[in-house]
Amino acid sequence: MGAVVAESLSKKFDSFTAVESVSFEIGEGEVFGLLGPNGAGKTTTIRMLACIISPTSGTASVCGSDIRTEPTAVRRKVGIQTESPSLYERLTAVENLEFFAKAYGMTDQSAIRARIKELLEFFDLWDRREEKVAVFSKGMKQKLAIARAIIHRPPALFLDEPTSGLDPEAAKLIRDLIVKLSRLERRTILLSTHRLEDAERICDRVGIISRGRLVVTGTPENLRIKAAGEAKVEVMVNGSASGYAGAIEGLPGVSNLAVEGNKIVVGTRDPVGTTPEVVRRLVGAGAQILAVRPYLPSLEETYLRLMGETAG
């Protein structure tokens, strides 16, 4: 059974359905990304799973605890970073982390101090530790909010747009941290993001959510293949490619053929089965092959295509 299991989760605000029958499973140690446009229902889904709001119908379990019947246990097992950083502006960075360490049940003072130092140094905030959060920049607050979420080393982490508002260096720091927490420490991570390159780089699986519904889930690569329908293979030859296309025209498996300068672009549903014969024939026709490159659309292209299909 997955570490996070959502079963037909729905949330209505009055008569408006923000999340509609969303189901997915996240394995232990897995990073699962929720992608979707503004207002799709990502934050609402995360808040239900973290027991901040209750679902209108459906249920979920987090690390074995039911969100409806065992909310206290769920809150203990989850570290959460939400859109509006829930920090006390009038407290310093250290005071904030101290407060939340205790709220999360940490009691050993020296362990708390050591953990706070470790986190503030990691996030490059140690020098600013005695300043009130009110004077922090947006990115500094974001980093502190993530430190807050992981301070008690929870087995599950829910991060709502963890890299938003961060500079490239800080965004990389967070991505690397997420990967480390999942791969090395087997923590289960649910995140939402608008950055498709982040999803592509760090998520084991992603779910695309649109208008409250989970449209599709899969590995980033899987989604790209699914949306592409057919793969493309680019063959680059020495000199103009126009004389060689004839050698592979009508070849079984080749569904599309285009010549662009010194490149032949082969469309195929079966790149593994088709590519070797394409290469053999081109060589037979006298082509000097410089490169053979399979091409799949990016997750971004896939996402935009799926959004286009679900709109309207």
Ligand X SMILES: Nc1ncnc2c1ncn2[C@@H]1O[C@H](COP(=O)(O)OP(=O)(O)OP(=O)(O)O)[C@@H](O)[C@H]1O
Q: Which residues bind ligand X (CB under 6 A)?
A: 13, 18, 36, 38-44
Is 239 strand, coil or helix?
coil
Is 17 strand, coil or helix?
strand
* Contacts to Mg ion from residues 113-132, by CB under 5 A: none
CB closer to ligand X out of 42 and 115: 42
CB closer to ligand X out of 36 and 79: 36
Rg (CA), the chain: 24
Q: Shortest approach of ligand X to residue 112 CB, angstroms?
A: 32
Q: Shortest approach of Mg ion to residue 75 CB, angstroms?
A: 20
CB closer to ligand X out of 38 and 72: 38
Site size for Mg ion (CB under 5 A):
2
Q: Let me know: does 25 contact 61? Beta carbons within 8 Å.
A: no
**Beta pairing class for 31-35 and 188-193:** parallel
Q: Shortest approach of ligand X to residue 310 CB, angstroms?
A: 14
Alpha carbon distance 211, 147 (integer Å): 31
Q: Which residues contact 176 (CB under 8 A, 6 or more apart)?
A: none
Binding mask 238-277 for Mg ion (x = CB under 5 A): ----------------------------------------
Q: Let me know: does 143 contact 125? Beta carbons within 8 Å.
A: yes
Q: Shortest approach of ligand X to residue 231 CB, angstroms?
A: 31
CB closer to ligand X out of 212 and 267: 212
Contacted by 162, from Mg ion, ligand X, none: CB < 5 to 8 Å by type: none
- What the block records as the tokens of 263 is 């490149």
Q: How far apart are the first and last CA of the chain?
A: 36
CB closer to ligand X out of 38 and 107: 38
Pick the stretch among 39-47, 200-208, 210-218, 267-275 that binds Mg ion (CB under 5 A): 39-47
Binding mask 212-241 for Mg ion (x = CB under 5 A): ------------------------------
Strand ranges of the sheet holding 263-268, from the earlier edge strand across to the other edge: 254-260, 263-268, 231-237, 289-295
CB closer to ligand X out of 44 and 92: 44
Residue with tokens 């599709």: 216
**Nearest position to Mg ion, beta carbon:** 43
Alpha carbon distance 153, 151 (integer Å): 6
Residue ranges of the alpha helices (H) in the chain? 42-49, 71-77, 93-103, 109-122, 138-150, 168-183, 196-202, 220-228, 271-284, 299-310
Burial 164-200 (b: 16+ CB within 10 A, else e): bbbeeebbebbbebbeebbeeeebbbbbbbebbebbb
Q: Shortest approach of ligand X to residue 157 CB, angstroms?
A: 17
Residue 43, interface with Mg ion (CB under 5 A)? yes
Contacted by 9, from Mg ion, ligand X, none: CB < 5 to 8 Å by type: none
Q: Shortest approach of ligand X to residue 206 CB, angstroms?
A: 14
Q: Shortest approach of ligand X to residue 38 CB, angstroms?
A: 3
CB closer to ligand X out of 10 and 275: 10
What residues line the site for Mg ion (CB under 5 A)?
A: 42-43
